[in-house]
């Protein structure tokens, strides 16, 4: 079944980010972004991706290595629709692991053809596949075979990539991908050379949509890069004519991101960083705007919840991974720097909870 065709538009998706969008963070996004739409359905992230997983590793690693990789494929029903993102330059491996993902109950399989990490590129994967389009085509076809793409009991195959490698290659590279008719195509609107050092070129997504309409009308097109808020995502999608947007860095520290009426107070303008006036402004804005601004106590409570969930679900992962989240949670309020410094010294959920409790006591 192709779940993509059932999604409301514009589609708002959670980007796959290594050591960020793991099972713990995805569960929080599903929990705190959940809301009831006007039609009575439950809203939130429209689709989530796992962190990317090596298909080669799943097949060839040591038993211990395989166990760690398989842990990246755990998910809960609350996260649906959930897509497993894979990378490999080996078509045979892709076919086998796509079949595994289908058996594991994933709603779809996505192929990473955009990651700029050198260790990934050395394997001929990620963004390196832009330089070997003939391999990319074989990998897509293999994934479709394994996933039984298009069949009644199959799951859809999608691709995430970039505009090009060193330069804009929309007319060549994107055309190659569209001719393979993926269920969805997400384009990070920068080249591999750009990394994140230049603004995302959302204006180029219009051309991608035009090519889609010509070559593969059933393929959904999503844009990725520099999305700051839900409203910003909707504006970018409308301007480009795409089907949706994928959000990445803006999610850090904000599991409420996809909720239409809950926001962090960092979105308020002219908000003092210190003083009682800060809380007065937040309260007034909540009443006037019909938006529920998340309190500091709630924000830090969720930080602790996130930490405990990470330790419970992903005990094999290094605790230091959580600290990139702490930098985002502990930001934009009085004495946030001091809290961040204290959190960076922690090494367990119990220590994190104690630091947060002590910090909140000192605020009163």
Question: Given this model, what pLDDT does residue 269 score?
Answer: 47
Q: What is the mean pLDDT of residues 265-289?
A: 58
User: Where, residue-wise, is CATH 3.20.20.70 in the chain?
Assistant: 3-251
Q: Which residue has the tokens 């609350």?
A: 78
Residue in 155, 157, 123 with CA at minimum distance from that of residue 140: 157
- The structure tokens listed for 161 are 């990539």
Q: Give the strand pairing for 11-14 and 82-87.
A: unpaired
CA 8/CA 117 separation, integer angstroms = 33
Q: Where are the alpha helices (DSSP H) in the chain?
A: 23-32, 55-60, 63-71, 91-103, 118-121, 133-147, 175-178, 205-215, 230-240, 277-289, 296-313, 323-329, 336-344, 349-362
d(CA 262, CA 249): 18
pLDDT score, position 202: 98
Contact criterion met (CB below 8 Å) for 88 and 97: yes
| Two structure tokens written together for 268 | 């308020």
Helix axes 205-215, 230-240, angle to 10 degrees: 50
Q: What is the pLDDT of residue 5?
A: 95
Q: Are 259 and 34 in contact (CB under 8 A)?
A: yes
Mean pLDDT to the nearest integer, 196-222: 97
Q: At what angle do helices 296-313 and 349-362 cross, to 10 degrees?
A: 170
Q: Stretch 169-196: mean pLDDT, rounded?
A: 96
**pLDDT-based confidence at residue 226 (cuts at 50, 70, 90):** very high
Provide, rounded to the nearest whole percent, the portion of the chain with pLDDT above 90: 80
How confident is the model at residue 42, as a pLDDT? Answer: 77
Looking at residue 113, its pLDDT comes to 98
- The answer to whether residue 101 is catalytic is no
Average model confidence (pLDDT) across the chain: 92
pLDDT at 54 over 60: yes
pLDDT of residue 61: 80
Q: Is pLDDT larger for residue 267 or for residue 304?
A: 304
The answer on pLDDT for 281 being more than 70 is: no
Q: Using 50, 70 and 90 to split pLDDT, how confident is the model at 285?
A: low
β-strand pairing of 42-43 with 35-36: antiparallel
The pLDDT, as a whole number, for residue 275 is 52
Cα–Cα distance measured from residue 29 to residue 305, given in angstroms and rounded to the nearest whole number: 12
In angstroms, rounded to a whole number, what is the distance separating the alpha carbons of residues 142 and 88?
11
Helix (H) or strand (E) holding 324: helix 323-329
At 91-116, the pLDDT tens digits run 999 999 999 999 999 999 999 999 99
> What CA–CA distance (Å, rounded) separates 59 from 55?
7
Burial class (CB in 10 A: 0-12, 13-18, 19+), 288: exposed
Kindly report the pTM of this predicted structure: 0.92
Residue 288 has pLDDT above 70, yes or no: no
Q: Which pLDDT value is given to residue 293?
A: 85
| pLDDT at residue 252, as a whole number | 94
Average pLDDT of 339-349? 98
Q: What is the mean pLDDT of residues 35-39?
A: 80
Q: pLDDT-based confidence at 315, cuts 50/70/90?
A: very high
Concatenating the DSSP letter of every residue in 232-273 gives HHHHHHHHHT-SEEEE-GGGTT-TTTT-SSEE-GGGSSS--S
276 or 76, which is more confident: 76
Q: What's the rounded mean pLDDT across residues 83-92?
A: 98
- Phi and psi, residue 116, nearest 5°: -90, 0
Report how far apart the first and last C-alpha atoms of the chain are (Å, whole number): 54
CA-nearest of 206, 132, 118 to 170 is 206
Q: Name the active-site residue from 115, 246, 322, 352.
A: 115
CA–CA distance from 164 to each of 129, 176, 187, 328 (Å)? Answer: 10, 12, 10, 30
Q: Determine the topology of domain 3-251 in CATH.
A: TIM Barrel (3.20.20)
Q: Using the predicted structure, report yes or no on whether residue 273 has a pLDDT greater than 60.
A: no
């Amino acid at each position: 079944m192709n779940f993509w065709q059932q999604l409301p538009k514009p589609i708002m998706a959670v980007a796959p980010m290594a050591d960020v969008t793991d099972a713990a963070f995805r569960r929080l996004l599903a929990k705190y972004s959940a809301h009831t739409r006007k039609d009575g359905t439950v809203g939130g992230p429209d689709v989530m991706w796992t962190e990317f997983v090596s298909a080669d590793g799943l097949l060839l690693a040591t038993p211990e290595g395989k166990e760690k990789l398989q842990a990246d494929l755990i998910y809960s029903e609350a996260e649906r629709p959930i897509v497993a993102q894979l990378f490999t330059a080996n078509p045979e491996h892709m076919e086998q692991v796509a079949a595994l993902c289908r058996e594991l109950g994933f709603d779809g399989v996505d192929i990473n053809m955009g990651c700029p990490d050198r260790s990934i590129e050395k394997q001929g994967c990620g963004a390196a596949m832009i330089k070997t389009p003939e391999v990319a085509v074989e990998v897509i076809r293999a994934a479709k075979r394994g996933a039984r793409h298009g069949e009644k009991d199959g799951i859809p195959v999608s691709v995430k990539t970039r505009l090009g490698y060193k330069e804009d290659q929309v007319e060549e590279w994107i055309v190659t991908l569209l001719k393979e008719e993926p269920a969805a195509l997400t384009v990070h609107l920068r080249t591999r050379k750009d990394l994140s050092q230049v603004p995302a070129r959302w204006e180029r997504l219009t051309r991608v949509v035009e090519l889609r309409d010509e070559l593969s009308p059933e393929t959904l097109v999503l844009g990725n890069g520099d999305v700051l808020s839900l409203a910003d995502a909707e504006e970018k999608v409308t301007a480009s004519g795409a089907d949706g947007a994928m959000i990445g860095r803006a999610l850090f520290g904000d599991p409420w991101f996809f909720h239409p009426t809950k926001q962090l107070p960092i979105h308020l303008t002219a908000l003092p960083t210190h003083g009682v006036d800060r809380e007065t402004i937040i309260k007034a804005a909540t009443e006037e705007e019909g938006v529920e601004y998340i309190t500091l106590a709630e924000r830090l409570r969720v930080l602790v919840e996130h930490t405990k969930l990470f330790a419970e679900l992903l005990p094999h992962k290094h605790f230091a991974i959580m600290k990139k989240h702490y930098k985002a949670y502990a930001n934009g309020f009085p004495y946030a720097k001091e809290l961040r410094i204290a959190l960076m010294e922690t090494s367990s959920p119990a220590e994190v909870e104690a630091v947060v409790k002590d910090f909140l006591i000192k605020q009163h």
